[in-house]
Structures are given as structure tokens and as C-alpha cells.
Structure 1
Amino acid sequence: MTQTAAPQTAGVIDGARSAIAQSIRPLGAVFRNPALRRMQLALLGSLIGDWAYATAVAVFAYGVGGAKAVGFYFTVRLALMAVASPFFATLADRMPRRLVMIGCDLLRFVLVSAAAACLYVGTPAWPVFVLAGIASVSAAAFRPAQNAWMPSLADSTEELTAANGASSTLESLSFFIGPAIGAFLLTLTDVPTVFMLNAATFLWSALLVTGIHARPGSVAEEASRTEDDAEEQKPPAGVLRETAAGFRAVTSDRDILMVGSLLCAQTVVAGASAVFGVVLAVEILQTGPKGVGYIDSAFGVGAIIGGFVAIARAARRRLALDLSVGVILWSIPLLALWAWPHPATVFAAIVLMGFGNPLVDVNFATILQRITPDAVLGRVFGTVEGACIATMALGSLVMPLLIKVFGLGRGLGVLGAVIAVLVLPWLPRALRLDRDLAVPAGVPLLNAVPMFEPLTPATIENLARKLVRFEVPAGSVIVREGQESDRFFVVESGGVSVSHGDVLIRHEGPGDFFGEIGLLRDVPRTATVTADTDTVLQVLEREDFLDAVTGQSEARMAADAIVSRRIAL
């Protein structure tokens, strides 16, 4: 028996080492990227401060009105955030995302500092609660802006996934570090001091974000817009219509709806865990409420391991499947707790749930960043975030009823079964989405075209999916001078001759391109192109080419430079 267990243990250890090794390279790329490094450090400082601040607010509320005051404050806070998130996220699509993040940081700095000042001068409790609540609501645009900005800062899909993984891991770490710092400072100082620490972390975050600059020509960050561009981006209607665009994007796209539904299924359990975690500690661990700390620690261990695994699996491009598995790992352990109510089962179940958490967080963010149009990306994140906060509150409300009606074990079993039933029907669509998100064969060919270099990886992939392959026999005329300009061509194999009148201008081979002059200048073909040998071409239609190139300033500048150089020849 020992001999059998040893190879199994060694296999688990080797698998863990492999996952860590496979995640080191993309994580290294994230922190070598100055923009992503600043983003992660800004997020870490802000999250640690937030958790320390939440601890201090809970202590203050308990001192004012006991457990009822704590519960009332956090319930109202979650409700306000759920309602505000879709509205505030509109800012992430209407303004430069860097400015939105900085504005959120500075506003929270002012509000939390004001709350600390109220405590120092001894005002009544209500101004502190009001300022603290407004500070929470004012954060509603920060994460949507960050998530919507990230694709423009990453140089590849794997790097984007790794950046989301780093963010998830930092959130898990801050879950422990922040409250620990808050509790430690409260033993040495007082609540106002912890408030000021949180205010300082917002300044830290704002300063780091100030130094972040998007990749040239990116869609998501448009800090370099001209005034005319900004004018074109003004909302055509009121705030409600603009906010509704996020809801429409979620409900009209089945893939986005799937991602949002899976995430909400997980957050129902996350909200319920705030209740059943305490009951598990009391009834099964028999440690009393303080055992929640042990449960949280087990969750954190699983989350850190899961984060490495999620990043390591990024190259396999199974984002939607991994997301689904992550949600299932929040349901199956509940069934195990029903079947085997034992302390060992509690820790095993919580570790599995922690392991599944980054599979959900990392992959949901990456999928939305890749399938959502950039124009509504911030609002989609805000809509999904608002829904998740609402379903988290729902879970915390439903769990006490399940325990009262069925008891702890059966209540957990019912919750786990319901979540599993909600997830399983989405699996076929998840598998189909993963096939759609596979890297198209034409990506390397498009990456070699100079005018496409400023485009984000997601934009290149979308273009590659629109390529149409043409095989042209030797001697065939591909385009003729004076014809309508309707397509852009890239030579995959073979070769072509480009001539103007009777004059041969140049020969082009694999990786070269033609057709851009007529499209960009909106004129008929300026040259005749003939296949020298049997040639394979990849073709983009006029609208697809122009949308990609003219929609980003750096790409347009690169294209204009190529056109000017070729006309001069």
C-alpha cells in the first residue's frame, strides 16, 4: 500500500511542479512588461488597503451598533455596488480608461481621508458610514476600466491570460494580507489610522497608473485621441441608454451570456459561503466561529495553486472549459460535505473551491476581453460585476433558509446540485467557444504586415478569422489597373508581379501584400498584379481591412507611410 501511494504522491508533486514551471514564463512576461507590472502593483496596493479598511469599518460598525450594524452596513454597501456598477462602468467606455482609474483612486482618497477626519474630530457615526459607502460605490468604475484596458497592454493572448492570473493571485494574497495588516494596526493604533493607510494606498495606485501607457494605436486606451475623435465618441443619448448597451451586449450574445451565467452561479455559492463557513466551523470543525480563519486559509492555499494552474493552461486555449470546471469545483465539494461531514472533508472541499476560484476569475476575464467589442467592454464588465454582486447577496440570503429547512448537510447538497444543474447545459457551448477562440492559421501572416503591428492580439485574431483563401494559377491577373478597389491581399505562397501601365514596379513573394492604396485612398486600382507562379493569397474584404487600419491612429499612420512610399516609387 505504501509502495502504491509513493508513486501517486510523486506524480502529484511532479504535476504541481510542471504547472508552476509552465506558469513562470508567462508570469515573467507580465512583470517584464512595464505597463502590466505597474497595473499589478497598483492593484495589489489598492486591494491590501481595501481589505485593511474593510476590517477597520467592521470594527467601527460593531462598536457603534454591534453585529446588526455590521450586517446592515455591508448589505447596503453590496446593494449600492450592484446597482452602481453598470452605470459607473459606462465611464470606462466613454473616457480614457487610464483617467477613469486615476479619477476613482483620487476620489476614494478624498472620501476615505474625510471619513478619517470625521473620526479624529469625533463627529456622529452617520457621516463616516455615508463617506465609506460612497467610497465603495465610487470604486465601481475602477475594475471595469482595468479589465477593459488590459488587452491593449498585453503583447499576446497568453500574456493577457497570465496578467489576469496575476491579478487573481494578488486578490487571493490580499484577502489574507489586508485583514492581517488591518487587525495588526488596530491592536497598535486605531481605526482612523487604518483609514489613512487605505487612503495612502489609493495615492499609491493613482501614481502607478499615471505611468501606464497603452501599446501604440491600441483601441482600448485612447488617451491620445484628437478633439475630433473625442467628439465622435460622445454618447448619442442619455446615461440610461448608454448603460443599457452593456445589458444588451450581455443578453444578445450567447457566449457573453454563458460567461456571465457561469460566473453568477459561482458567486451564489461565494455569497452562501459567508454563512455556511461559520456553520462548518461550529458544527463540523467544532472550533467555534474562529475556525473560519482556518477555512479561509485553506481556501487561500487552493486559490494560489489554482492560479498557477490556470496560467499554465493558458497555452492550451481551453478557457471556456476551464471556466466551467472552475464553477463545478464550487458545487461538487458541497455534495461531498453532505455525504461525508468530517473535518478532513471540510478542508478538502474548501481547498478544491479555492483551486476553482482562479479558474473562474482568470478565464472569465480573458474570454470577455477577447469576445466583447471594445466599444462596450467596460460596460459589459460592469454589468457582469453588478450581477455577480447581486447573486452573491442572493446566496447569503438563501443559505440560512436552506439550513433551516434541510439542515446543514442537505442544504449544502441542494445548493451544490442546483449549481451543477445550471452549469452542465452550458458545456457544449463552452467547448464550441474554445474551438472558436483557437488561434487562426492566418495570425502569423498578418503579424508580419507592418501596418498591422500596432493592432492588439485580439484584433489580429479577429482579422485572421475573416481571411479568405484564394488559389491563383500562374499567369492569372489578380487585380487590374482601373478596377474598383474592394479587397486587400497578402501573399501566402508563390509570387506576383506589380506593374503600372507597361512598367514593372516590383515582384512580391510570401508575406508581401498589395491592394492597400486603392482602399485607403478610396480610388480605383493603381496597378495591375499578375501571378508569376501558382500562388496562394489570403484576402480581406474592404470593410474588414478599413475598420482595423483606420480605427487606430498608429495603424493608420503606418499604412499611410507605406502608401506614400509605394506611390513615390
Structure 2
Amino acid sequence: MATVTPASTGYRAVFRIREFRPVFAAHLLSVLGVVVAEISLTVLVYRVTGSPLMSALTFALGFLPYALGGTLLAGVADRHPARRVLVGCDLVCAACAAAMALPGTPVALLLVLRCATAFVAPLFQGARAASLADILGTGDAFVLGRSLLRMVAQSSQLIGFGLGGLLLTVLAPRGAIALTAAGFLGSALLLGLGTRARPARGGSHESPLGGLRAVLGDRRIRVLTLLFWLPPVFVVVPEALLAPYAAGLGAGTGVLGLLMCALPVGTIAGELWAGSALTARTRSRITGPLVAAGLLPLLLYAARPGVPLALTALLLAGLAHAYTLGLDQWYLDAVPEELRGRAMTLLGTGLMTLQGVGMALAGLAAEFLPVHQVVTGSGILGTAVVLLLLVELRACARAAERERPRSETGLAAK
């Protein structure tokens, strides 16, 4: 198992681990491929049908299959070798993208293929997250590796749609989707040749609900999972309502684009700072305070701020996301190795699904209340939820402390 010595910490040290480099490159290819495919498929469906509804449906269609795939396939991540699962998922996505690119593929089949790629996506992400612990070890290198992959995903929001739009100026939508298929094949090749074959963790053949109970049945894992899932539900509210908020301020599309970049830019900057400038111990110590304060910048919306203050609020909320690095280590320490694949798959599934729910609820609330009040309310409610979770986490720690002397006394008696 790869490890990083204390003397060689930081992001550069993670790249010195040979197996991580192809994993990172494969992630870059697949993330950009997904973004390009999404915009290209949306344009393609609109050109074929002329329907804005069908175009929007194509873009949004990934949420339900993603949630189902993550729930139903979570156990696969532990029952089969990680490299086989990862390469298999990439090949499925490559085949779906290649079928989308074929001339004459009907719209109904395009939507089915879109659902199929979304269905296997959480399994791929969970298996890769679990395999990072095998490649990088279970210490600081794992946390920094996860952070790098997250930053690539965040950057795709800033770069991927621009790249997709640029590609569509020189290629037909089907041609851009064909490049996506090539990207998935490249990812499969990198993972197949660049990573070592390792045995499966030996997860049981239990039902999907049994797998869910195995992960969330543990009190500490459950609380940590909710700390991953719930803050993003509230932090996406201002993002979901940026268009009507900017319109209410009389701002143009350029200002809207700037506001849309603020949260991902803040998130990337926060992770870079925490990963580069702080030790693992310091990151762990600030995790609680950061997650508790992370939604407080949204309270600035109470004053119905103009563009500069709204931009500041979004940047600060993004910077606070640095708590995720400490939370990653806590989660890895809490989850038994034999559950790691299932836990990581369900973690990503819930995160993605609940963000979609948060956006939908934000839109619903904004039908009845002014946007700035909805955002302010999300900051207040979200902070209260996070504080309750932190209280429960502390109670878990106290219970574990009480149990430890008993177990040690029992061992001594034996």
C-alpha cells in the first residue's frame, strides 16, 4: 500500500505516487467528457425536436438514474476488484456515447443512453474513491488525492461548458459526443494499464437496502454522512436562484456569469489553501468550526445585497468548503475497509441527489417568497441543522470514550 512520508506532504507528493497519476488523468478525461456530452446532447435534442422542454429534460435526466444506480449498485464496489469495476463502467459509458454519436439515433434512445451513463456513474465514483485508499494509503495522501479529484470536478463547471461551446462551433453535436466516447475509452485504458490489480474487498451479496443499513446503521458513520450531504443542500440555494436574483438587480448576463463562477472559485481556493498550507492535524481541528460557519455568509442576503456583496457571500461560502478535507479523513477512519466501496458510492449518490433536491426546493420557495429571503432562510436553517449534527457527533465521541475503558478492561481480564 502506498504511503507518503511526513517529510513529503502536499499535493506534489501525491503526484509522486505512480499509480495516482493515471487515476488523475483518467478523471480529467472522464469529467471533461461528461460535461461536453451534456451540452452537446442538449443541443442535439433541441435541434432534432425543436422543444426547449425536451432539451432541458435531457440535461436534468441524470438525477433519478444516478440515485437509483448509487443505491442498487453500491454493493458491486466491494464484491468485485476495483480495477475491473472502473474499467467496466468506462466501457459502458464509451459504448453509450458511441451509440449517441451514430447518425439517426432516435431521441427516445438518446434519452435511454443518457440514463444508462448516469446509472453507472455513482458506482464508478464510489469504486474509485475506495480504491484511492489502496493506492494512496489511509493518511494525508488520501485526503489530498480526494481533494485534487474534487477540484477537477469543480473546475469542469468553469472550463467544461466553455470548452463544449467552443467545440460546437467547429463540430456537429454528434462529433463532439464521439470525442466523449474516445475520452471514456482513454480513461479505461489509463486505469486498466496504469493501476495494479487488487482483490475485491469481499462484500456480502446482501440486498441494496441491506447495504444501506450496513453503512448508515453505524451511528458515527451516519452522522458523518449527513455532514457531507446536508450543507450542500443549503449552499446550492443561492446558485439555483442566481438568474432571478441577478435579474432583480438589473444585472446583465456578464454579471450573472461572474456570480455563477464565485462559489466554485471559492471552493477550489479553499481546498487549495487547506491542502497546501495546513497540516493534517490543523485541518482536522478546524473542520467543526468551518462547517458550522460555512453557511453564515448567506445571511448577507438579508440586506438584499448588490453584486459586490453577493459575490463576497458566495466566495466566502465556497472558501468554507475547505472543511471537506478534514471530514474526508474522519469518514475514512470511521468506515471499515470491507464497507468502503459501498460507503463511498452511497456518499456520492446522496450528495448528488440531495443537491438536486435542494435546487428544486429553492425554486419552489422562490415562487412564494423574495429570492433574498429564501437564500437568507437557507443560511439560517442550514446552520441550525449543521450545529445539531455536530452536537450528535460529539455525543458519538463521548459514547466511544465510555466504551473504550470497558473493552480494554475486558481484554485485560482475558
**TM-score scaled by structure 1?**
0.65
Which of residues 76, 99, 103 in structure 2 aligns to 1:91? Answer: 76
Residue identity opposite 1:343 in structure 2: V
Count of residue pairs the alignment pairs up: 405
Which of residues 204, 208, 233 in structure 2 aligns to 1:268? Answer: 233
Deviates more, 1:342-351 or 1:312-321: 312-321
Task: Spell out structure 1 runs of 4+ moving beyond 6 A.
Answer: 432-437, 465-469
The answer for the alignment partner of 1:334 in structure 2 is 298
The answer for the alignment partner of 1:130 in structure 2 is 112
- What is the alpha-carbon distance in structure 2 between the residues aligned to residue 270 and residue 194 of structure 1? 32
Which of residues 370, 375, 378 in structure 1 aligns to 2:341? Answer: 378
- What is the alpha-carbon distance in structure 2 between the residues aligned to residue 321 and residue 468 of structure 1? 30
Whether the 8 Å contact between 2:61 and 2:114 is mirrored in structure 1 is no
Whether the 8 Å contact between 2:263 and 2:315 is mirrored in structure 1 is yes
Aligned pairs for 1:521-540 (under 5 A) are none
- What is the alpha-carbon distance in structure 1 between the residues aligned to residue 85 and residue 406 of structure 2? 33
In the alignment, is residue 77 of structure 1 matched against residue 62 of structure 2? Answer: yes
Aligned pairs for 1:227-242 (under 5 A) are 233=202, 235-236=204-205, 241-242=206-207
- More helix as a share of residues: 2
The answer for the alignment partner of 1:490 in structure 2 is none
- What is the alpha-carbon distance in structure 1 between the residues aligned to residue 176 and residue 291 of structure 2? 35
The answer for the alignment partner of 2:382 in structure 1 is 419
The answer for the alignment partner of 2:139 in structure 1 is 157
Which of residues 40, 60, 65 in structure 1 aligns to 2:24? Answer: 40
Could you report, residue by residue, the CA deviation over 1:498-544 in whole angstroms, capped at 9, with x for unpaired residues?
xxxxxxxxxxxxxxxxxxxxxxxxxxxxxxxxxxxxxxxxx9x99xx
In the alignment, is residue 62 of structure 1 matched against residue 26 of structure 2? Answer: no
In the alignment, is residue 348 of structure 1 matched against residue 312 of structure 2? Answer: yes
Secondary structure of the equivalent of 2:105? coil
Unaligned runs of 5+ in 2: 1-5
Deviation of 1:321 after TM superposition, in Å, equals 5.0
Which of residues 260, 264, 275 in structure 2 aligns to 1:296? Answer: 260
Deviation of 1:211 after TM superposition, in Å, equals 3.0
Identity rate, percent: 23
Pairwise CA RMSD of aligned residues?
A: 3.3
Deviation of 1:338 after TM superposition, in Å, equals 1.9
Aligned pairs for 1:115-514 (under 5 A) are 115-117=100-102, 121-155=103-137, 157-213=139-195, 222-223=198-199, 233=202, 235-236=204-205, 241-284=206-249, 286-288=251-253, 291-311=255-275, 312-316=277-281, 318-319=283-284, 321-322=286-287, 325-326=290-291, 328-329=293-294, 331-360=295-324, 362-430=325-393
- What is the alpha-carbon distance in structure 2 between the residues aligned to residue 49 and residue 320 of structure 1? 37
Deviates more, 1:44-53 or 1:267-276: 267-276
Deviation of 1:299 after TM superposition, in Å, equals 2.3
Residue identity opposite 2:373 in structure 1: R
Whether the 8 Å contact between 2:235 and 2:317 is mirrored in structure 1 is no
Whether the 8 Å contact between 1:328 and 1:419 is mirrored in structure 2 is no
Relative distance call for 1:234 and 1:424 in structure 2 (3 A) is: closer
Deviation of 1:112 after TM superposition, in Å, equals 0.4
- More strand as a share of residues: 1
Deviation of 1:130 after TM superposition, in Å, equals 1.4
Relative distance call for 1:342 and 1:158 in structure 2 (3 A) is: same
- What is the alpha-carbon distance in structure 2 between the residues aligned to residue 428 and residue 99 of structure 1? 40
Deviation of 1:317 after TM superposition, in Å, equals 5.3
Whether the 8 Å contact between 1:333 and 1:416 is mirrored in structure 2 is yes
Relative distance call for 1:258 and 1:285 in structure 2 (3 A) is: farther
Could you report, residue by residue, the CA deviation over 1:132-189 in whole angstroms, capped at 9, with x for unpaired residues?
2212212221000011111111145111111111112211222222211111000111
Relative distance call for 1:353 and 1:59 in structure 2 (3 A) is: farther
- What is the alpha-carbon distance in structure 1 between the residues aligned to residue 407 and residue 386 of structure 2? 34
- What is the alpha-carbon distance in structure 2 between the residues aligned to residue 200 and residue 247 of structure 1? 34
Residue identity opposite 1:29 in structure 2: A
Unaligned runs of 5+ in 1: 1-21, 215-220, 438-464, 470-486, 488-538, 543-569
Residue identity opposite 1:52 in structure 2: V
Relative distance call for 1:103 and 1:402 in structure 2 (3 A) is: same
Residue identity opposite 1:416 in structure 2: G
The structure, 1 or 2, with the larger RCO (C-alpha pairs under 8 Å, 6+ apart) is 2
Relative distance call for 1:76 and 1:250 in structure 2 (3 A) is: same
